Amino acid sequence: MSKRYLAVGIFIIAGVTLFALGIFLIGSRHEAFSRHVLLYTEFADLDGVTKGSKVQVAGMDGGQVARIEIPRSSSGRFRIQMKLNEQLHGLIRTDSVVTVDTEGVVGNTFLTIHSGSPNAAIAQAGSTLQSKPPVSMSDLLSHSLGIMNDADATIKQVGGTERCTRRGQWCRG
């Protein structure tokens, strides 16, 4: 009977240990056990940024979007709260700029905080950083389509004039 109690005790201890290890690993993944600083930025268009989107600081994963406040009017801006690792706080200056980026052409959307100038002061916790409006793929494609249409029209105009092979002169065909 005592061997049975020993086996049950070992099983329970192993289960609790695995459960605690799992909680620790999940907490480390979400950086629940590290110190954070909260910073803000504002955008007129989120372009796919959601709560939980990652935030990079100078190219390194540095935190995530903690909250998004919806504007009260159509002319307002979305206010984004970013929860950042305190170790990277020294890289973020008062003149740092936040942009919306994507991983590849159709990848996940995330925020990038570009380091400001070394002469600027470090951004205080709770301060709002400047933002640069995102370039949407639809705007980029429509602009490219306009350029292609202009090039096509130019080629058609030039194509109407061809070189006459007999006289060595330019003539209308």
Instruction: Note down the domain range covering 3.
Output: 1-33
Q: So what's the pLDDT on residue 133?
A: 82
For residues 59 and 76, membership in a common domain is answered with: yes
Rounded to two decimals, the pTM is 0.62
For residues 46 and 131, membership in a common domain is answered with: yes
pLDDT, one tens digit for every residue, the chain (173 residues): 688 888 888 999 999 998 887 777 665 555 555 688 999 999 988 888 899 899 999 888 889 999 999 999 888 999 999 999 988 888 899 999 999 988 876 778 899 999 888 899 989 989 999 998 877 667 777 888 888 888 888 887 776 555 555 555 555 54
For residues 43 and 27, membership in a common domain is answered with: no
For residues 21 and 69, membership in a common domain is answered with: no
How many domains does one find in the chain? Answer: 2
45 within some domain: yes
Distance separating alpha carbons of residues 68 and 171, to the nearest angstrom: 64
For residues 47 and 21, membership in a common domain is answered with: no
For residues 15 and 71, membership in a common domain is answered with: no
117 closest CA partner among 90, 96, 89: 96
Extract the tokens encoding 39.
């910073």
Q: So what's the pLDDT on residue 160?
A: 57
Q: So what's the pLDDT on residue 36?
A: 87
For residues 60 and 19, membership in a common domain is answered with: no
29 within some domain: yes
For residues 12 and 88, membership in a common domain is answered with: no
For residues 135 and 70, membership in a common domain is answered with: yes
Distance separating alpha carbons of residues 52 and 83, to the nearest angstrom: 10
145 within some domain: no
